[in-house]
Amino acid sequence: DAGVIQSPRHEVTEMGQEVTLRCKPISGHNSLFWYRQTMMRGLELLIYFNNNVPIDDSGMPEDRFSAKMPNASFSTLKIQPSEPRDSAVYFCASSFSSRTTEAFFGQGTRLTVV
């Protein structure tokens, strides 16, 4: 398996534009996580899916952020409208749905909002 695949790797956009980040989890994994990493706030869990259903979205900063998982092999994180403070590295991770299993991370998407 190629691991967790995220696209794009880098995204530069202007304030106010819509941004869509994409993630393909490892085949067979049924848990998916979206994290955001910044120097100031560290690694924050934004949302967690299990079997394509959002289980916990308490980390989503505000209504500008939304995430979907239409099927087991694809998820998106959308920011609309984007703001400079959204600049961060966004990671997707997947795992089997068990508290004893580790999660595997993608390479991340570095988002810069100017």
Partner 1 sequence: AQSVAQPEDQVNVAEGNPLTVKCTYSVSGNPYLFWYVQYPNRGLQFLLKYITGDNLVKGSYGFEAEFNKSQTSFHLKKPSALVSDSALYFCAVRDYNTDKLIFGTGTRLQVFP
Binding positions for partner 1, rule: CB under 8 A: 4, 31, 33, 35, 42-43, 45, 48, 50, 55-56, 91, 93, 95, 97-100, 102-108
Q: How far apart are CA 97 and CA 112, in angstroms?
A: 32
Nearer to partner 1, 56 or 83 (CB): 56
Return the number of the residue (46 or 113) whose C-beta is nearest partner 1: 46
Question: What's the closest the beta carbon of residue 11 comes to partner 1, in angstroms?
Answer: 15
Q: How far is the CB of 3 from partner 1 (least distance, A)?
A: 9
Cβ proximity to partner 1, 33 vs 65, nearer residue: 33
